[in-house]
Structure 1
Amino acid sequence: MADPAVADASVRGMVDNLRPAWHVETIERAPHGTDFVAILDIRTPAGPKQAVLKATTADLVDPVVARAEPRLLTLLDNETSIPVPTVYGSCDAHPEYPAPFTVPTFSSFQ
């Protein structure tokens, strides 16, 4: 079950830490997963976006593994034709927010 303990203000602060010009408009917490996952509607200078905030909160995924995910996605996005989410930003450690955390594009596979 996803961690509901990450407050809306923290979600907004985490996104602001990575993308200061972005404004989080809505936060929808995902009911699944071992760590905190939220689907975000974001207003950016370039227009609206939908993204995901993933934060390591449950100690079930080693932080070393969690830090590797955005790097691997960025490598695959830049160097291959494999369709992967674009990583808008990631943070390995933070004194105030659960970390590592990352913000990739939202993809709906229906």
Structure 2
Amino acid sequence: MARMKEGTEVDCIFCASDALARGTAYSFIKNGYRIPEDIGILAIGNGDSELSEFFIPSISVINIPMEQMSAMCYELVEKGMYRQDIGVEHIFFDTELISRRSTDATES
């Protein structure tokens, strides 16, 4: 567990993008922390997947279907422009957790 400041311990950092996760990992390693032994890193996978896969340590990501979500947003906006009677819609998308070294000390 990493000590961030007096009395505060953190066991994992969640990053809004895999690019931020790589920078976070670099900073922790530069300051003597071991990933994932001292602190884990998990990110939203929204960049080039090979960069997270082959970074050392490889970064665990949650893949979100951004292209599908943006296409659906466009469809909903278009539908709303031509129809006044649309109601609330709940739309769910499948996500995928790809566990890699940054959160799993047993992975080689």
> Which structure shows the higher strand fraction?
1
TM-score bracket relative to the smaller structure = under 0.3
> Which structure shows the higher helix fraction?
2
Higher alpha-carbon Rg: 2
